[in-house]
Amino acid sequence: ETGVTQTPRHLVMGMTNKKSLKCEQHLGHNAMYWYKQSAKKPLELMFVYSLEERVENNSVPSRFSPECPNSSHLFLHLHTLQPEDSALYLCASSQVGGSGNTIYFGEGSWLTVV
């Protein structure tokens, strides 16, 4: 248990569906992240939110839409995805501004687009 909880753990969706991934952190951190992990590729940062404000967006397609309503919750809204978007989506959190800045990851949400 890392203190970062992701739901659902597994999701299968069609290309025309709309779904959302949810992440919740219980660590009191002030920054949250979405990463994408595809087979045989390094983890890719998608979005960073710090103090509920999006501070980085690594040119992610608009079919991925993040939402951070407060410092403990982060969503990734999905619509009209492509099969190549099938991957493990990892949420993480950290405390920005302190020493160390260890980042904690959730268990991930396995997404399959059919």
Output b/e per residue, 69-78; b: 16+ Cβ within 10 A. eebbebbbeb
- For residues 31 and 94, is the Cβ–Cβ distance under 8 A? yes
* Cα dihedral 82/84/87/89 (nearest 10): -50
Residue that the structure tokens 């290309």 belong to: 15
- Binding map of another protein across residues 81-110, x = CB under 8 A, - = no contact: -------x-x-x-x-x--xxxxxxxxxx-x
25 near another protein, judged by CB under 8 A: no
Kindly tell me which of 8 and 56 has the beta carbon lying closer to another protein: 56
Contact between 31 and another protein per CB under 8 A: yes
CB of 76 or CB of 90, closer to another protein? 90
Q: Which positions touch another protein (CB under 8 A)?
A: 2, 4, 6, 31, 33, 40-43, 45, 48, 50, 55-56, 88, 90, 92, 94, 96, 99-108, 110
